Chain A
């Protein structure tokens, strides 16, 4: 009976998808450009609706919802069906500030001290191994591919090595947004979930530090007239210290607010996303680290962490869809096609380096067989942080920066699509999908069956349903 109802629901969803696409195809012929208010609303509405529809359709073959959101962006974007043009994509990118705030806050809220203590040995060793072997392999492969990269073949060996080093650092960057997106969908809990959260969130800080170091070392190799300057390290130290201080203050303020007022959390989150993140940027602090710290403080120094997390999950549903659909629309499909051989080789090399590093680190840490087998799965995704760092390289080295960034965009595009699929598959296979619901049910004294899936939602959703 349930199977029949499910089947009917899928048919209805398929028909809805056709209706929405038909309406949009007609509208795109009739409506004005996306630079008008109507065009922008249409673009945003389309990405939201198409994202949800495609994610539901892809759910049939157990692909993650993120893939559906990305696919919606690619499909509707300026490179395929042209339903959403470049102007609209740029304007919608304004949502990214809010999305990153929510992602970082949620990331911090997911980092419980108990979890960190539980995985600290694995975390430390994985960080060391990934930051050495992973970095070295990615750097080496990129350097070895010099003949196939026009902008690199013209450089001398030291300069090419410096660029390869930048690539190596980008190779060990991960995607907190994709990790949290998948966890939010699957309501997973277990050793793999806890390790992935802790590793992906903390690796951000390591990558930012390593990129600063690579820039200090690489600059004199690219430009012989430049010298090694520790000024960049000083600036970076101040940035990190300032971000942690401001994040701690914000976290304490949020904890007090949750304790004494606690209402209108949606407005407070939007205020933080647009207003406070603007202030953080003005102070030249690192927004991701600031909000990550704030979330960590609320979770570990107050009893209100879960409440804030629920509020983020509720209001974040829209933001997640827009964020990933916009990312999909940003994907430069013609560029990806033009350099697919190089991009796929680099992606494969990075994936192999990540898996090998993980295998070595997990043996060293004596991880459980489950973690040893699947721990790498959350480390494939790449998104905003990687692209952000590539922009820094592009600005610092205009001579080769644009070509370098194009290559980053192409590989991130592939990793962005395949990474969430690996992670969700791993969570399904390890049986951690839906375990977050069961844990919550046990905490609430209810008998949960633990069979949560993509559509199970939060415990409060279950109550509502």
Chain B
């Protein structure tokens, strides 16, 4: 397929996806169905899109991933215009870290028992599966004035990214880097963080104390792209530095709230094309033992997430009848996890990368099937016709 046709098709998909998802006609609002469409048309199945054309889009996907990570950084730990409550934030981080540790350790031992990965690859797949399978779908609302259960679920969902991105940032410590720069293993994650902080400070200082909308986009996009370029140049996964950039802007800029609102509006049109393209990158050619590992880890994730959900329900004093729904609402995976999986695939294009990406792709589809209805009941108890878009409530009407 011609690259221009594919680009046009993706733009049309982004447009239609934005319109369709705002009507709440879909059960799979994480975009699982678009991931499946991407996989179907991709080179591993029907091959409507060949590998060469797909790889021509790689720079665009990388830039989009960087942008999405920065937007996540800007929105991290917030709900509407407010910061999430300290209790919710701490619990979310603590439980997500516990879940990630459980998944990582299980993967490590299972991979050894099945004889799938050896040596440093075994550590890599353990950390990668912890990064892609921990956490749940984010929920963004325009305001924090919500029923208590909805608010609590949204706060927990919007605070967990630190764990999966932390695991992702730690990956380069496990393998020697190809970059020209020579650093001790522990310094690689710090280099990524430092890159994000330096460029975040630059953005915050350029925005200054009064935001000018027309100037915001070149500044923010320029800084995100530099972060992406530097991360790839240093052979680091690009999401953590871009995420740190967003966090730094929030920490330093007095205009952070406005920047967040503006930047979040750009996320929706980006997610759908990226999801379709991500589906096309799925490769099914892996051996039986690896399939067994993937199946086991997805089951493990369902169990861990459900158990964490019950624990959260307990901490929220949810009635028993609602606790089941509350726990199930933790099964869907957010777009940020898919981005983490895609980043690992691009960072390590071998069996580890392919396996990690398959893990997140299948977990996303199954999570959508198993948990989206429950999530809808928790997130929209009194507004059944309000739209959910990739876990986010849409604005009523948007001009651009």
Identify the A interface with B (CB < 8 A): 5, 9, 12-13, 15-16, 19-20, 23-24, 27, 29-32, 36-53, 56, 184, 262-268, 270-271, 274-275, 278, 307, 310-311, 313-315, 317-318, 321, 455-458, 460-461, 464-465
- Is there a chain A Cβ closer than 8 Å to B233's Cβ? yes
Given contacts A275-B4, A457-B215, 12 further A-B contacts (CB under 8 A): A12-B208, A16-B206, A27-B230, A30-B179, A37-B58, A38-B228, A41-B228, A263-B19, A264-B18, A267-B14, A268-B15, A461-B214
Of A29, A32, A456, A460, the most chain B CB neighbours within 10 A belong to A32
Please state if B400 and A266 are interface contacts (CB–CB under 8 Å): yes
Please state if A264 and B219 are interface contacts (CB–CB under 8 Å): no
With known contacts A27-B230, A318-B217, A461-B214, A45–B4 Cβ distance under 8 A? no
Interface pairs A-B: 5 shortest CB-CB: A42-B229, A38-B232, A45-B225, A31-B233, A48-B222
Which residues of B have CB within 8 Å of A271?
Answer: 8, 11-12, 15
* Chain A contact residues, majority secondary structure: helix
Of B59-67, B287-295, B324-332, B365-373, which binds chain A?
A: B59-67
Closest to B227 in A: A45
Closest to B208 in A: A9
Count of CB-CB pairs between chains A and B under 8 Å: 187
Which residues of A have CB within 8 Å of B227?
Answer: 45
With known contacts A27-B233, A36-B232, A464-B211, A275–B8 Cβ distance under 8 A? yes
From residue 190 to 209 of chain B, which have CB atoms closer than 8 A to chain A? 198-199, 201-202, 205-206, 208-209
Please state if A457 and B233 are interface contacts (CB–CB under 8 Å): no
Per-residue contact bits, chain B 159-193, to A (CB 8 Å; 1 contact, 0 not): 00000000000000000000111000000000000
Q: How far is the CB of B266 from chain A (nearest CB, A)?
A: 8
Which residues of B have CB within 8 Å of A16?
Answer: 202, 205-206
- Is there a chain A Cβ closer than 8 Å to B231's Cβ? yes
Of B11, B215, B218, B227, the most chain A CB neighbours within 10 A belong to B218
Identify the B interface with A (CB < 8 A): 4, 7-8, 11-12, 14-15, 18-19, 58-59, 62-63, 66, 179-181, 198-199, 201-202, 205-206, 208-215, 217-219, 221-234, 258, 269, 397-400
Q: How far is the CB of A275 from chain B (nearest CB, A)?
A: 4
Please state if B221 and A318 are interface contacts (CB–CB under 8 Å): yes
Please state if A274 and B233 are interface contacts (CB–CB under 8 Å): no
Please state if B221 and A45 are interface contacts (CB–CB under 8 Å): yes
With known contacts A12-B205, A13-B205, A465-B210, A267–B11 Cβ distance under 8 A? yes
Query: Once the chains are docked, how many angstroms separate the CA of A294 from the CA of B188?
Result: 52
Query: Once the chains are docked, how many angstroms separate the CA of A321 from the CA of B221?
Result: 11
Query: Once the chains are docked, how many angstroms separate the CA of A43 from the CA of B230?
Result: 10
Closest to A460 in B: B213
Which residues of A have CB within 8 Å of B217?
Answer: 314-315, 317-318
